[in-house]
Amino acid sequence: MHALLAAGARAWEGNRRLPSRVGAYTRTCAYRDDAFEVVLLNWAPGSASPIHDHGDQHCWMIVLSGALDVDDYKRLDRGTVPGYARVEPSGFSTLGPGGVDLRSGRFSLHRVSARADGSALSLHIYSAPLQRFFVYDQRARRCDVAYGAYDEVLAHRALR
């Protein structure tokens, strides 16, 4: 998968304008079928995702341009009490162009953010469409269901 992502990063021409929002990131679906989903995330300077998992999916991410900080978290509870989650930081990395991150399942948590001084673009491949996952509030010890949504769709196949 790493080689496939690297080849995709080299092939990215960057000549297509993607939706953008000040202070936020946008999600553009490049392809989706029942087996996998390919999404481009366009990160405005200083934007950040919430702490989140990836449902029951695998997720591969490669940075196409800019830099992204990745804060890793581990879940300390068993996930058996609805709405409750105890998470704590467990690591940090910075990914530049070509940098890859892998997530697998609902206990592989992270928060991704763009640097305050620059935008970034990343490509994400999910082992099936990411429809339902959890976002986490570390201080409140809460988790809530979130649903995947797009700001734009480029896919040539019909989305279901």
| Residue 5: predicted pLDDT | 77
Q: Contact 123/34 with Cβ under 8 angstroms?
A: no
Round the average pLDDT of the chain to a whole number and report it. Answer: 91
Domain locations along the chain: 2-10+22-153
Higher pLDDT, 71 or 57: 71
Query: Which among 27, 59, 20 is positioned nearest to 150, based on CA atoms?
Result: 27
| Residue 119: predicted pLDDT | 96
Cα(86)–Cα(79) distance, integer angstroms: 9
How do beta strands 109-114 and 152-153 pair? Answer: unpaired
| Residue 160: predicted pLDDT | 53
The pLDDT tens digits for 58-107 are 999 999 999 999 999 999 999 999 999 999 999 999 999 999 999 997 88
15 pLDDT tier (thresholds 50, 70, 90): low
Q: Taking 80 as the threshold, does the pLDDT of residue 9 lie above it?
A: no
Q: Which amino acid is at 118?
A: G
Averaged over 11-35, what is the pLDDT? 87
CATH of domain 2-10+22-153: 2.60.120.10
Q: Contact 116/45 with Cβ under 8 angstroms?
A: yes
Q: Taking 80 as the threshold, does the pLDDT of residue 147 lie above it?
A: yes
The pLDDT tens digits for 71-81 are 999 999 999 99
37 pLDDT tier (thresholds 50, 70, 90): very high
Query: Which among 124, 142, 132 is positioned nearest to 55, based on CA atoms?
Result: 132
Q: Taking 80 as the threshold, does the pLDDT of residue 157 lie above it?
A: no
